[in-house]
Amino acid sequence: MSNSSHTLSRRPRYQTLRELGRNRAGGRITYLAKDNVTEQLVILKRFLFAQVGSEWSGFKAYEREIQVLRGLDHPGIPRYLDSFETPSGFCMVQEYKDALPLSAPRSFDPDDIQKIAVSVLEILIYLQNRIPSVIHRDIKPENILVDEQLNVYLVDFGLARIGSGEMAMSSVAAGTFGFMAPEQIYNRQLNEATDLYGLGATLICLLTGTKSTAIDTLFDEDGRLNFKPLLPKLSLRFVDWLSKMVEPKAKDRFPNATAALEALKPIYVNRLPEVKFSQLALELKTTQLGEKLTKTVSVNNSVPDTLLEGTWEVAPHESDPRYSNSHAWISFEPSVFKSNHADCKITVNTNKLMADKTYSRQILLHTNCSPETYPLTITVRTTLLETPKPPYISMVLLLVIALAMTGFWTGAIAWMVAVLFKFASWPSVAIFQLGVIAVFVAWFLAGTLLAAVGIRTVIGIKIAAWLTTLTMLVVLLSSGFLPAAIAALGTLAGLVIGFVNGAVIKNYKERGFTEKIAVSSALLITGLGMSLGTGFSVGFLNFFLFSSLLGTSLSLVAMMYYPYQQREKLMAEYRHAARNRRLIKP
């Protein structure tokens, strides 16, 4: 290393301009300097042998860096230019890049950080493809320079190692804790995945806004970098990629920089989920006082590799009470979700709302999207304090049809039983009776179901005719013509009564009655009609028939009175709340 070019001339070749950094313990100082021959700016690294605290390892680091840099030629690695001895030490000259280290206070958006990662990986691919390969061993924010155009440079090869041989124990701790891969710390075999750990840790610092000197705050008890909760808006694929970069075990990382780069390029880093609602406005209307109304809103996200997170809230309103949880009358299930498809139930409890009023509120969904908050409008119309009227015409029609069809059918059964007693034993007669009753009940339930689900009349008639014919054929083949006729009549009676029963249930529900009252009332009317029809056919002087008539009649009266009783109860509660000013204004 000749120094003639620096000592023979009066004017030194390299003129220091300002100090860039100093390692006092190691006796190393870095300057920005000017090459008076080429008129170019350069980096001058100086090692002082005579300084107190200077270490021989510092000089060895410069020797190693020179050895490595002399064989490297990559635009992302500042070139080695010169080296020379001085009376007090040793100097190395390197190409100057007008760029700041990543440790300098700056902000990069996630897409820029991805570009930086790609550039560093390309440099590492170059190093790893050399023969022998080069392992940097000290990748950290301070050793990665980035200029205004996002050009990236990797510096400080003082700890670099050529080849993949075993390490001497004295060099095990070479590196920076927090950015050193575990195999560096524990003197294990290094490989091409070693430098990936330092790059991953550097990217985590950039993305989380963590200073390199505070990276220890990100480690959990297991020695892993716990950064995922700090990056809720980044795509899941990128977070997974970053997690793989900093896996404690080298075999769990990408095998080399080439594999890491191939996995990174197709990933969208700053890819946010989107929000799509099934509806943007909700309208609810009560049918009775104090009713709880529920609407379901579906929230969807179709952006790949993202996870939608949402929290529901009701926006403040001037008419709402000014105390905590003032919107308790509007609730959400779930109120917080993490899913790309969420069916959210919005329930309105109207027991604190005024009757015959219209309420309009805005509900807000806070998300991890952009924008972060999405508003929906919910409108609630409360009804007057009225009790819905039962469908009297349908009720009378059901009663008459049940009476007529049952009376005619039971009369036919009684006649058939009298005939059978002349030719058959009692068990056979009993089996016949149970069979035709079972047929009647089965087709009554079928008819009710068909009508309740909204089967049209023409279709219903066709189904009834088909089922009646089928039943008649089955009984005809097994028991003869007369039993078949009775069974077919039972099928027809059951279906007709069932159809009318189902229609009455629908009428009840359309008028605002609950399903429980609608079904119970229709079945009680059917039972009363069937009991009366049976009585007209076989006589009323039967204990079981009389009990049936009495039970169905009293139950029907109670069922019809129940809505009025509930109305009076709700009225009393409403008046009490109104007197105490507990009702919420629109």
Between CA 229 and CA 583 the distance in angstroms is 42
Select the more confidently predicted residue: 449 or 209: 209
Between CA 253 and CA 197 the distance in angstroms is 8
Mean pLDDT of 268-278: 86
Mean pLDDT of 365-370: 88
Residue ranges of domains in the chain, CATH in brackets: 4-95 (3.30.200.20), 100-264 (1.10.510.10), 276-381 (2.60.40.10), 392-568 (1.20.1250)
| DSSP annotation string for 384-398 | PS-PPPP-HHHHHHH
Give percent above pLDDT 70 in the chain. Answer: 72
Mean pLDDT of 383-405: 78
> Which pLDDT score is estimated for 170?
35
Between CA 285 and CA 241 the distance in angstroms is 50
Q: Is the pLDDT of residue 276 over 80?
A: yes
Of 159, 99, 152, 165, the closest CA to residue 126 belongs to: 152
Select the more confidently predicted residue: 320 or 241: 241
Helical H segments across 480-542, by residue range: 481-510, 515-538
Select the more confidently predicted residue: 165 or 412: 412
What's the predicted TM-score (pTM) here? 0.55
> Which pLDDT score is estimated for 513?
78
> Which pLDDT score is estimated for 452?
52
Give percent above pLDDT 90 in the chain. Answer: 34
In contact, 511 and 394? CB cutoff 8 Å: no
The amino acid occupying position 221 is: E
> Which pLDDT score is estimated for 458?
46
pLDDT in tens, 74-89: 999 999 999 888 877 8
Between CA 488 and CA 485 the distance in angstroms is 5
> Which pLDDT score is estimated for 144?
96
Distance of CA 299 to the CA centre of its chain: 9
In contact, 214 and 204? CB cutoff 8 Å: no
* Beta-bridge mates of residue 84: 91
Select the more confidently predicted residue: 491 or 184: 184
Select the more confidently predicted residue: 572 or 21: 21
Of 226, 345, 213, 219, the closest CA to residue 284 belongs to: 345
pLDDT band, very low/low/confident/very high, at 578 (cuts 50, 70, 90): low
| DSSP annotation string for 323-360 | STTTTTTEEEESSEEE-SEEEEEEEEEGGGBPTT-EEE
> In the 8-state DSSP scheme, what is residue 219?
B
Between CA 27 and CA 547 the distance in angstroms is 110
> Which pLDDT score is estimated for 128?
95
Between CA 501 and CA 405 the distance in angstroms is 13
| Strand order across the beta sheet in which 152-154 lies | 100-101, 144-146, 152-154
Q: Is the pLDDT of residue 321 over 70?
A: no
